[in-house]
Amino acid sequence: MRAAVLGANDGIVSTASLVVGVAAAGAARSSVLVAGIAGLVAGAMSMAAGEYVSVSSQGDTEKADLERERNELKSDEPFERKELAAIYVGRGLDSSLADQVADQLMAHDALGAHARDELGLSKMHRARPIQAALASAATFAVGAAMPLAIVGLSPLSSTIPLVAGGSLAFLTLLGGIAARVGGANSLVGAARVTFWGALAMALTAAIGAMFGKVV
């Protein structure tokens, strides 16, 4: 949920800033829309590619860790058993109970026990690059569609204030939700993302206005 909200935030900030900058340059509505749509597609693909590469790298690391652990179990199982028992002792079990737990878990699934308790890996949290890429692209596109909808529905003369105002309102809402889901202060989270969103739009509007005058 938190990742989805942050992806939507990125879509709003980047696309709204792009739209505001192009509109500030004095471009026609069609040009503003084309720029915004291009930003949506490019941003979604960039998010998907970046997430895919990042999570794939994480998956490669996990596979390498599991392979190393598999080899260690083959070469020195008694040491690995003691290592697992020591982990349970560190979590509060007495040594005799820790030895029993380690014996039973290794008899059932030695690699799974070490992957979970030594490496911190589990099937639930295993890297899924395609799923992560699709989720990032989808949430970014959803966020980016909001400022584009405002551009399509608003008169050209009001594009900048309506896009900026609407985007900041959504950013405030989503920033608060993301902070709440993450267990942080909602007001601080909302203020943080709203400030940076406003700064991004202000800078692109200024650059767009200057570029428009020069051209």
The per-residue pLDDT for range 12-51, each reduced to its tens digit, is 999 999 999 998 888 888 889 999 999 999 999 988 888 8
Q: Is the pLDDT of residue 178 over 60?
A: yes
161 within some domain: yes
Q: What is the mean pLDDT of residues 75-80?
A: 82
According to the model, what pLDDT value does residue 50 have? 85
210 within some domain: yes
A 10 A CB-CB count for 123 gives 8
A 10 A CB-CB count for 95 gives 11
- The closest alpha carbon to 40, from 133, 148, 135, belongs to 148
What is the domain count for the chain?
A: 1
- Print the domain residue range for 18: 2-52+140-214
Contact between residue 10 and residue 200 where contact means Cβ atoms under 8 Å apart: no
120 within some domain: no
Q: Is the pLDDT of residue 71 over 60?
A: yes
DSSP code per residue over 65-115: HHHHHHHHHHH-HHHHHHHHHHHHHHTT--HHHHHHHHHHHHHHHHHHHHH
Fill in the amino acid letter for 87: I
71 within some domain: no
Name which residue leads in pLDDT, 146 or 66.
146
Please name the residue that has the structure tokens 């809402």: 173
Contact between residue 65 and residue 95 where contact means Cβ atoms under 8 Å apart: no
According to the model, what pLDDT value does residue 78 have? 82
Q: What is the gyration radius of the CA atoms in the chain, in angstroms?
A: 25
Q: Is the pLDDT of residue 3 over 80?
A: no
113 within some domain: no
118 within some domain: no
194 within some domain: yes
22 within some domain: yes
